[in-house]
Structure 1
């Protein structure tokens, strides 16, 4: 049997791949099972650093924007990890594609046209969203009310159909170790015993479990820091569009149409047009037992401010009143790096404790600066093959 802690992009993919191959799998999930449309109720509190993440079956994939971009593919090869074929397979299965023009709203079109008029390269964002099911409503980051967007819940359901066991609302506490090898997991519902444990609890909780097992983890935190820049354009109705449906790639920065309620909480949301400015931040943070520490470096601040200035120019060209422009505070979207390849895990994602693996963004050696869901899934598929080969 294999114990998998967490059921997001990594955990659910791994559980499905193992279950399909006839391996007994038990998935330990801290959060509850909820409907896709209720995923917004499962956002975790962020008392130290504002990092967007959820605790529920399917993890943060339920509140992701459905963006499907390849990240860190070549970087991982430098560590002896080739995920190219796995990425091909995932893209085919999830039917990754650009949405048709019928799903491009007025606000997104204005942003795209304005960016092109400024000489910026713009393309549509590839998505794992079924356009036949999608009725643009702006709720991608709250949980899709029509389940038009792929989420890890689908893989988790398939894993259960093939015999996997899901134990929800259960917190992983400590790794049980005997003679340098893993022999089980201590949880809030008692002990589970097995010689293979995979941590996929995310880049905040996974290193904490590792630290309690005596492994030096938690350093090198990145979080793909972002701000949303926006202003007022009367009646644009951008809040009801498919979010992040276009992509502008700059050096170390991406820009994408994005609505945030934090910009103008006092104004009619239908009058707000915004752009997300996201950077591949430096690994300048750390996860500790009871807090998260993250510093923004000079480089990070320079990238954010430069990207925000460009976003402001695009919005002004799109018709937003220059005197209305403002920005949110910096937040984090994709934490990772806290159990990195070459530092905490080897090329097979195994730790110094035999039989203890990691299959989430913790293992990423650098900030992707874009959603890493496909990369995490590809790493999990690769790990599944390795685990099958050694069982």
Structure 2
């Protein structure tokens, strides 16, 4: 039987980030995913690098996390991101007081923000709706998640980690309040005996929790993204209103990704994909940028958000996560396991650092996090990044138009 110090289950941005963080601290780590890396929420997201402005008036802590990590990701990720900037656009029908609350909250939190009148906003974004009343500029951007996940995995591998895509967890053995074995199928087909297990399985974290014999209550929601043929859009566009269906437009080089919806699902592997979600996403986003209504659809996909049920139950705000949650399962009778749930793609590195801190504390490893100050491998070379994506079978639909197939 193989033996690994730490087994990380889930190869999305957070899991790959945990593997990288631990490997840089000198920990022996294995990362597994049941599919290619990033095949869950990371690779099916809308690819927005949040400034925090979306959450500013409703969740100051979450917004502070976003702007801090936004700046770090810009420093370390290179061609894994696109620095577009973003606009929050308020139409004539939208609540002016809501706009002011968001603007004031951004200033208080420290999110760089600038007011734009309608004329200036329309000059900034040709084709913007005639009934724009006001706008604010914030440092949103675009993430290419396939590249980001693969670069994190490559750095982990370069520092001694073992990476196994297509290695589903089939069972977990717990004895005397410790994980003693994890059966891996697929490309591994072996049982490993980790000293510690990190559950970073996103929307599937509840299923891994069941194997561990602990409760990890997830409330996943599905959302659609539609990529339209639209060249020349500069910044990310956000509708400046209470979060609702169809209020984000994310620019790619020759496409615009519109979305999204938020519908609860019981099973992240088996859920409806309704046409109304596609239609409403296009219609609502076209209120900001009317030409989108007639743009040719290129592809559409659904993603499932890994929302933590206790957090969702505590509030009513649609689609606004307060942040991430690190669950130490020693509190549940399994002393060598933890789960990391919730959060956002933008804050993946912070989530990974918090998890790695806990693991190192448990294992007696005295090493500090280095991920905020170390540039990702291949960050300046798209061809190298895309080679990493192919190596880890990490291509997702979000950045399919950007990442080179060969």
- For residues 95-174 of structure 1, the aligned pairs below 5 Å read 98-99=83-84, 113-115=127-129, 117-119=131-133, 121=135, 123=137, 126-127=140-141, 150-174=147-171
- For residues 216-365 of structure 1, the aligned pairs below 5 Å read 216-217=215-216, 219-223=218-222, 225-226=223-224, 228=226, 238=230, 245-253=236-244, 254-256=247-249, 276-279=258-261, 281=262, 284-287=264-267, 292=270, 310-316=284-290, 318=291, 332-338=302-308, 348-351=326-329, 352=332, 353-359=334-340, 362-364=341-343
Give the secondary-structure state (helix, strand or coil) at the position aligned to 2:307.
coil
What value does the CA root-mean-square deviation take over the aligned residues?
A: 4.6
- Between the aligned partners of 2:137 and 2:242, the Cα distance in structure 1 is 16
Q: Mind listing any 5+ residue stretches in structure 2 that lack a counterpart?
A: 87-121, 314-323, 364-406
Number of residue-to-residue matches in the alignment: 297
- Between the aligned partners of 2:345 and 2:21, the Cα distance in structure 1 is 16
- Between the aligned partners of 2:142 and 2:256, the Cα distance in structure 1 is 22
Match of 2:199 in 1: 199
- For residues 16-35 of structure 1, the aligned pairs below 5 Å read 16-31=20-35
Q: Which has the higher strand share?
A: 2
Report the CA distance between 1:174 and its aligned residue: 1.9
Give the secondary-structure state (helix, strand or coil) at the position aligned to 2:346.
helix
Report the CA distance between 1:99 and its aligned residue: 3.3
Q: In 2, are the aligned partners of 1:94 and 1:128 still within 8 Å (CA)?
A: no
Assess, with a 3 A threshold, how the Cα gap between structure 1 residues 186 and 354 changes in structure 2: closer, same or farther. same
Q: In 2, are the aligned partners of 1:10 and 1:377 still within 8 Å (CA)?
A: yes
Name the TM-score, length of structure 2 as normaliser. Answer: 0.57
Q: In 1, are the aligned partners of 2:77 and 2:148 still within 8 Å (CA)?
A: no
- Between the aligned partners of 2:191 and 2:305, the Cα distance in structure 1 is 29
1:280-319 deviations in Å (ceiling 9; x for gaps): x36x33238xx545799xxxx99x95x7654343444x4x
Q: Mind listing any 5+ residue stretches in structure 1 that lack a counterpart?
A: 32-54, 102-107, 130-139, 144-149, 231-236, 260-269, 365-371
1:340-391 deviations in Å (ceiling 9; x for gaps): 6699xx95332323222223xx435xxxxxxx21223321111111211221
Report the CA distance between 1:164 and its aligned residue: 0.9
Give the secondary-structure state (helix, strand or coil) at the position aligned to 1:286.
coil
Q: In 2, are the aligned partners of 1:123 and 1:246 still within 8 Å (CA)?
A: no
Give the secondary-structure state (helix, strand or coil) at the position aligned to 1:194.
coil
- Between the aligned partners of 1:384 and 1:208, the Cα distance in structure 2 is 22
Match of 2:374 in 1: none
Name the TM-score, length of structure 1 as normaliser. Answer: 0.59
Match of 2:211 in 1: 212
Assess, with a 3 A threshold, how the Cα gap between structure 1 residues 385 and 3 changes in structure 2: closer, same or farther. same
Match of 2:9 in 1: 5
- Between the aligned partners of 1:69 and 1:247, the Cα distance in structure 2 is 11
- Between the aligned partners of 1:186 and 1:58, the Cα distance in structure 2 is 21
1:99-131 deviations in Å (ceiling 9; x for gaps): 399xxxxxx9896542365225264773366xx
Report the CA distance between 1:3 and its aligned residue: 0.5
1:189-236 deviations in Å (ceiling 9; x for gaps): 121112311122331x3322222333344542223x246597xxxxxx
Report the CA distance between 1:66 and its aligned residue: 4.5
- Between the aligned partners of 1:201 and 1:229, the Cα distance in structure 2 is 26
